Structure 1
Amino acid sequence: MKSFSFKGRQELLSGIENEHYDVIIIGGGITGTGIALDSVTRGLKTLLVEMQDFAAGTSSRSTKLVHGGLRYLKQFEVGMVAEVGKEREVVYRNAPHVTHPEWMLLPIYRKGTFGKYSTSLGLKVYDFLAGVKRNERRKMLTMEESLRKEPLLKKKDLQGAGYYVEYRTDDARLTIEVAKTAYANGVDLLNYVKAESFKYDAHGKVAGLYFRDVLDEERYLVMGKKIINATGPWVEETIGQDRKIEGKSLFHSKGVHIVIDGSKFPLRQAVYFDTPDGRMVFAIPRNGKTYVGTTDTEYHGDLVNPEITEEDKQYILKSIAFMFPDLQLSMQDIESAWAGVRPLIRQEGKGPSEISRKDEIWTSETGLITIAGGKLTGYRKMAETVTDMICEQLKQEGKNCTESVTKQMKLSGGNFNNPEDYGRFINDRAQAIAVETGISLGDATSILATYGTNTDSVLRYAGKELQETNLPLSIKLTLHYAIEEEMAITPADYFIRRTGAVLFDIDWVNKWKYEVVAYMAIVMKWSFEETQKRMDDLNQRIEEIV
């Protein structure tokens, strides 16, 4: 494929039935793209197919934290805390433009979930297990120090707080950067193609995949030695196209987050706090907004667009009122919301918040490999584990793999010698870019912050003939880059997963959505009917989120 774009997508499809892959991965979330990157860099010819856009499922609907799972210490999942805690640092080192240290306040209240001693000890153990750097190790704060960090906290019965570091991320952009890195290393990736059934060899083993291009309804058959089911909440549906695996099932847990403008919820400091029913919830400031979540309820509805109920929103509003009693927030203050479905391994007798987030690998009688469960933070290690298993199987068939190299591999846009260079990179270049292109200093800073070392690739479109529209140059640049180098196919891809704007800047989306759709229609040669369809789809996505 010559480009990671809609044109390159068509080119790949035109010859795909003549290809034979070592590995075919179904699912373009963080797990699937991570496996694709690990397998291709170990010498395996790899294809990834995704029925929606990359990261359209759970991988764009998380709490947007690469975190070590402090709460799993309470469940004595020491191994998980140690593994994902260390993986936080790997993700940060390899992608500092989409992963940022975030000091987290854990308030301690009399008769609360965490006591002073247990919090101090727990955070100390957490630091040890996760291998936390010296300058990011936990601190214990007095009541006065806690209120200076966050004056909105409930004062009654406040005893102090733990203060420790998590890592904030843009989950969708992290997934896109993994996909782009996989593409740069030779993976063939296709979005908007739906796996429909399998082809079997004479021994009843999966040997190929039938899939349908959902954009034009064309059907294809592609052959592969190993097929991986990494479809997240859809893993059981995909297994259903093969043969049922006895004794294994998923528990779908829905997590909802809401976004409130900073003028209504002026949070200074990220907080991890108790809810009235004894759960824990995050409140995190981001670019002038505050987002809060998550809920944790069993879910049986639409997986593509999980429903956000009034009850979900009320639960979070009540949690906010419980911890920040001086705020007077109502349903009208919610600017946007999102719901994600976590695919957890069912454990009898345990509720949503008690079920382990540990990943498991299942293999059917036909050889279909399924990866289920897991966390965003541990995506790279999960991918390495799956690929180790694939390589062991292929070795018996005469195909050798090299060792995994992803632990030290910089992701697309993250090519900095040290993560600390990222901030200096923005400061050193923003003014020059603003002067050179004529875009505002704020827009120049935003592009640098979002695209990191890919910024020059974004800016090179400034010197090309772009379609005449009323769009500002900064939008044209990021939109054109999304189309030509990030395989954005629809306006929703751009507004939701390439920029995150629908969640965190809905006014901006509504201001420019018609011009963006018109621009994409010109570049991608849509008919009037296709353009209207894309506009309707975007409006529907906005309505669901808002």
Structure 2
Amino acid sequence: MAFSFSTRLADLQKAENTVWDIVVIGGGITGAGILLDAQSRGLNAVLVEKEDFAWGTSSRSTKLIHGGLRYLKQMDIQLVREVGKERAIVHKNARNLVCPERMLLPIYSDGNLGWGMTSLGLKVYDWLAGVPKDEQRKMLSAEKTLLREPLLKKDNLKGSGLYYEYRTDDARLTISVIKTACQKGAIALNHAEVKDFTYNEKGLINGIKLTDHIHSTHHTLRSKIVINAAGPWVDDVRSFQKNTTNRHLFLTKGIHIVVDREKIPLKQSAYFDAVDQRMMFAIPRGNIVYIGTTDTPYNDNINHPYPTHDDVDYILQSTHRMFPDYPIEKKDIQSTWSGLRPLIQQKRKDPSELSRRDEIFESEDGLLSIAGGKLTGYRKMAERIVNRAQRVIGKRLACQTQHLVLYGQGFDSITDVQHLVNNVNAIIKGPSYLGERLVHLYGHFTIDIIERAQAKTPNENDISHSALLQAELEYTIEHERVCSLSDFIIQRSGMLYFDRAWIVQHQELLKNTMAAHTQGIPSHFNNAQETHLKKAFQSVIAFR
């Protein structure tokens, strides 16, 4: 499969010379899911993204494939059933990327949750969501709860519920879905921004006009239907229409903080009461812990959401309340990220009460737009809107993604995933989380990265970490259409958030590797991306 930086220009030319069944606007998980759904049915589909794939919300979530527990509180039974089923499907199709994660739900006599209602709620959740027997909830005493997580506040602790969420990397899931679609013949173009629509003689949209930001060229793509899956930018894309209708979205912001695990050495993940009536996650990941999230209305620049001092204070206060012996200060925060939720407008509702359901809007000129929804439900969202699009296209091809294993992610069991992790760790001889990280992010393609690193090391049995980092960058340029250093540091590897100091230490190595493998990129694009990366480094600690 040719999905590299070097084949991007040829793909752009092919995209312009083809009449597509579907053009998808937006390279987040929703757009990626639509691209794969359409292409796997036998339709011809192309996707365009103005920045990099997963640049927006799809790299800035809590990085969990939820089973729908919070929707049970809202009595949305149908949604709990659907997301529970979808979680199982996504896990089966990418076991290394979507992994079971035990979650501790502490119960306090002075807290928001009661023992009886928590026990009943988790039991009903297990039944509605079709949770496997070995992952169904357990109720633990206070003593057993503290054995699992000694850092929890002990005063008024009654016990806990132990249940399962599924951990993922949202950006990696997005790129894996896109790669799978491209393996089947789709085209996906990053750094290609839609500027307008084209229309037929009846006034119906039949294509898009875009600007390629790398080469500063303008292009027209023709299609039978255009699907707007631009997440928080859905209303901005709709503004290009001749007859713009009212805005449909209500944006809320969620931030997360990242701290060294030594500052708060959690044994396992927890889902706990915040200082208000909301809930919050604390999730260990390798040698760090990330904590969040907030849920506040957002009306500022949607291209650059940032954490405020109030956002950070809210998380720190909630964390200190739950883990009082390990207070975190602002100076302890290594990085943050801020994401926007594109929710559907509903009058007289608090942001946390707004429905997370997706909704499809069809304009008179034929544009299909989709917004709302959650990471867990991306596959089902894609199925629904492609079904709708086929009415226009005139085909009735069935969805094929329920049993479609993502490219390079085929593992029969979690045991097989762990077996590869063990093999990788035996080769690289580093901390165990290094092998876990590589296999979690790259699946079977980890072997390609390891072989590249071995070729750069005089003694292939003693791989340096810098050679491993260089090999990872090279792999993503050649197989994941990385066009700039920021594409790699933020979306492909997540290192801006989870290994910022490591990246700073090896910036020159990465710059030289990038330059050697992307010769011919115009200087204006390189300069713009370098500026973008500097701002990104500043934004993750902007609250300081």
TM-score norm. by structure 2 comes to: 0.94
Q: State whether residues 443 and 474 of structure 1, in contact with CA within 8 Å, keep that contact through their aligned partners in structure 2.
A: no
1:282-319 deviation line (CA, Å, top 9, x unaligned): 11111111111000000011112202111111111011
For residue 482 of structure 1, what is the aligned residue in structure 2? 476
Distance 2:175 2:227 in 1: 19
Distance 2:432 2:359 in 1: 47
Residue 425 of structure 1 deviates from its aligned partner by 2.6
Higher mean Cα deviation, 285-294 or 147-156? Answer: 147-156
2:449 pairs, out of 458, 483, 487, with 458
Q: State whether residues 196 and 210 of structure 1, in contact with CA within 8 Å, keep that contact through their aligned partners in structure 2.
A: yes
Distance 1:284 1:446 in 2: 15
Q: State whether residues 199 and 206 of structure 2, in contact with CA within 8 Å, keep that contact through their aligned partners in structure 1.
A: yes
For residue 143 of structure 1, what is the aligned residue in structure 2? 142
What SS does the aligned partner of 1:489 have?
coil
What SS does the aligned partner of 1:6 have?
coil
Distance 1:20 1:38, change over 3 A: same
For residue 403 of structure 1, what is the aligned residue in structure 2? 398
Residue 20 of structure 1 deviates from its aligned partner by 0.5
Q: State whether residues 345 and 373 of structure 1, in contact with CA within 8 Å, keep that contact through their aligned partners in structure 2.
A: yes
Q: State whether residues 434 and 441 of structure 1, in contact with CA within 8 Å, keep that contact through their aligned partners in structure 2.
A: no
What SS does the aligned partner of 2:352 have?
coil
2:439 pairs, out of 448, 452, 465, with 448
1:68-88 deviation line (CA, Å, top 9, x unaligned): 221111111111111111111
Residue 448 of structure 1 deviates from its aligned partner by 3.4
Distance 2:490 2:309 in 1: 22
For residue 418 of structure 1, what is the aligned residue in structure 2? 413
For residue 255 of structure 1, what is the aligned residue in structure 2? 254
Written as runs of structure 1 = structure 2, the 5 A alignment for 1:298-337 is 298-337=297-336
Residue 460 of structure 1 deviates from its aligned partner by 5.2
1:17-55 deviation line (CA, Å, top 9, x unaligned): 221100000000000000000000111010000001000
- The aligned amino acid for 1:451 is Y
Q: State whether residues 45 and 187 of structure 1, in contact with CA within 8 Å, keep that contact through their aligned partners in structure 2.
A: yes
Distance 1:344 1:61, change over 3 A: same
1:145-191 deviation line (CA, Å, top 9, x unaligned): 11111111112221111110000111110101011101101111100
Distance 1:295 1:96 in 2: 29
For residue 500 of structure 2, what is the aligned residue in structure 1? 506
Higher mean Cα deviation, 163-172 or 110-119? Answer: 110-119
Written as runs of structure 1 = structure 2, the 5 A alignment for 1:200-211 is 200-211=199-210
1:327-382 deviation line (CA, Å, top 9, x unaligned): 22211011100000000001100011000100000100001000000000000111
- The aligned amino acid for 1:456 is I
Distance 1:108 1:444 in 2: 35
Residue 114 of structure 1 deviates from its aligned partner by 1.4
Higher mean Cα deviation, 144-153 or 350-359? Answer: 144-153
Q: State whether residues 213 and 525 of structure 2, in contact with CA within 8 Å, keep that contact through their aligned partners in structure 1.
A: no
- The aligned amino acid for 1:352 is P
Distance 1:140 1:445, change over 3 A: closer
Distance 1:130 1:448 in 2: 28
Residue 441 of structure 1 deviates from its aligned partner by 8.0
For residue 4 of structure 1, what is the aligned residue in structure 2? 3
1:115-150 deviation line (CA, Å, top 9, x unaligned): 111101110111011100000000001111111111
Distance 1:119 1:245, change over 3 A: farther
2:515 pairs, out of 515, 518, 521, with 521
Distance 1:268 1:522, change over 3 A: same
Q: State whether residues 172 and 497 of structure 1, in contact with CA within 8 Å, keep that contact through their aligned partners in structure 2.
A: yes
- The aligned amino acid for 2:274 is T
Distance 2:336 2:312 in 1: 8
Distance 1:528 1:346, change over 3 A: closer
- The aligned amino acid for 2:491 is R
Structure 1 stretches lacking a partner, 5+ long: none
2:536 pairs, out of 522, 537, 541, with 541
- The aligned amino acid for 2:475 is Y
Distance 1:139 1:32 in 2: 37
Distance 1:292 1:462, change over 3 A: closer
1:208-245 deviation line (CA, Å, top 9, x unaligned): 10000112221101100010000000000111111556
Residue 528 of structure 1 deviates from its aligned partner by 6.7
Q: State whether residues 518 and 531 of structure 1, in contact with CA within 8 Å, keep that contact through their aligned partners in structure 2.
A: no
Distance 2:433 2:294 in 1: 34
1:496 pairs, out of 461, 482, 490, with 490
1:94-119 deviation line (CA, Å, top 9, x unaligned): 11111111110111111422111110
For residue 152 of structure 1, what is the aligned residue in structure 2? 151
Q: State whether residues 521 and 531 of structure 1, in contact with CA within 8 Å, keep that contact through their aligned partners in structure 2.
A: no
What SS does the aligned partner of 1:339 have?
strand
Distance 1:223 1:509, change over 3 A: same
Q: Which runs of 4+ in 1 moved over 6 A?
A: 439-442, 463-466
- The aligned amino acid for 1:490 is S
Q: State whether residues 412 and 454 of structure 1, in contact with CA within 8 Å, keep that contact through their aligned partners in structure 2.
A: no
Residue 478 of structure 1 deviates from its aligned partner by 0.8
Higher mean Cα deviation, 339-348 or 316-325? Answer: 316-325
Residue 247 of structure 1 deviates from its aligned partner by 6.2
1:491-542 deviation line (CA, Å, top 9, x unaligned): 1111111111111111111111122012111221257776555433322211
- The aligned amino acid for 2:308 is T
Distance 2:364 2:95 in 1: 41
- The aligned amino acid for 2:46 is L
Residue 473 of structure 1 deviates from its aligned partner by 2.1
- The aligned amino acid for 1:541 is A
Written as runs of structure 1 = structure 2, the 5 A alignment for 1:157-306 is 157-243=156-242, 246=245, 249-306=248-305
Distance 2:222 2:160 in 1: 56
Distance 1:244 1:379, change over 3 A: farther
For residue 393 of structure 1, what is the aligned residue in structure 2? 392
- The aligned amino acid for 1:509 is I
Residue 443 of structure 1 deviates from its aligned partner by 5.1
Residue 195 of structure 1 deviates from its aligned partner by 0.5
Residue 404 of structure 1 deviates from its aligned partner by 1.1
Structure 2 stretches lacking a partner, 5+ long: 458-463
1:429-481 deviation line (CA, Å, top 9, x unaligned): 543x449xxx9987556433431122334345458799xxx983212211111
For residue 79 of structure 2, what is the aligned residue in structure 1? 80
Distance 2:112 2:516 in 1: 56
Q: State whether residues 99 and 166 of structure 2, in contact with CA within 8 Å, keep that contact through their aligned partners in structure 1.
A: yes
